[in-house]
Amino acid sequence: MSAGGSVEQLLKQVSPGRFDTYEALLDALADSQMWMLLWTGQAGSPDAQYGNMEVAGYGYAPCVTSAQELAASGWNRAHEVVTGREIATALFPERWGIWLNPHAPGGGVGIPWLDLRRIATGLDRLPAGPLRISEPALEIPQFYALLTHNAHRTPAVRSLRRCWVQPALGAPYLAIGLDLYDGAESSVEAVRQMMQQSVSAVPEGLPVSSVSMADDFDPVAMWLRRNSRPFFDRDAPHAGAAPTAAPGFGYGYPRPY
């Protein structure tokens, strides 16, 4: 079976709530070829521009998954053949997704830009969305006290935030948002050591991860910036409590419809 055939078979199986099948589709897309539909220009030309469509307020570039689907689509302009990982790397920084086989019965399947980011950087490195994100309800004062103490001793740290993340697949975890004064290698290493020294106070079996608040593309960091206040803030040590935030189901992803 070719990689393209694998993608097309998985497309037929994707349905609401089948996150395992959708995850398999993302994995198959990474090394499969995509036929990107060009609205203007020719493949490789400076004036080449992908087609675009908007669904639920999000932008997508339409594409097809094989030469056979290209013929079936009736597209009579130019196209460009790239791998899923190549197009993911090109589009996610612009917050554009791709829409697979929009001509197909049922309208095809959209891959939002956050999932293109996961394809580009590695599916195993980022949690599977949509994410349920909320304020942590865990009572773990020893961990927060030790982390705050170590943050005071780590000059690179400006502030720390926290949230509870439930991925679409996999175990929920506590996320710590790290806001640093700079991204120098020495600062990053100091903060890595700070986290390593602090997790000794985490109850056994509780997963803890960290996210850079400087990452403009991370849905956890986006949620933290919008919905939380720091529990450690070197520049505002007497800041008030965090605002109450409703669980952010699907944060950063289109709502299902």
User: What is the pTM for the complete model shown?
Assistant: 0.86
pLDDT at res. 32: 96
Phi, psi (deg, nearest 5) at residue 158: -85, -50
Please state the three-class secondary structure of 174-188 as a single string.
EEEEEEECCCCHHHH
Inter-helix orientation angle 141-152/185-198, to 10°: 150
Instruction: Give ranges for CATH 3.40.1350.90 in the chain.
Output: 3-125
CA distance 53 to 36: 13
User: What residue type is assigned to position 147 of the chain?
Assistant: L
Q: Which CATH class is domain 3-125?
A: alpha beta
CA distance 149 to 133: 26
Instruction: Give ranges for CATH 3.30.70 in the chain.
Output: 132-233
Q: How many CA atoms lie within 13 A of 47 on its CB side?
A: 5
pLDDT at res. 255: 58
- Enclosing H/E stretch for 189: helix 185-198
pLDDT at res. 248: 55
Q: Per-10-residue mean pLDDT for the chain, 257 residues long? A: 66 90 96 96 92 94 97 96 97 97 95 97 93 94 97 97 96 97 96 96 95 96 96 75 50 59
pLDDT at res. 134: 97
Q: Which CATH class is domain 132-233?
A: alpha beta
Query: In 3D, which of 39, 219, 63, 54 has the Cα closest to residue 127?
Result: 219
CA distance 146 to 128: 30
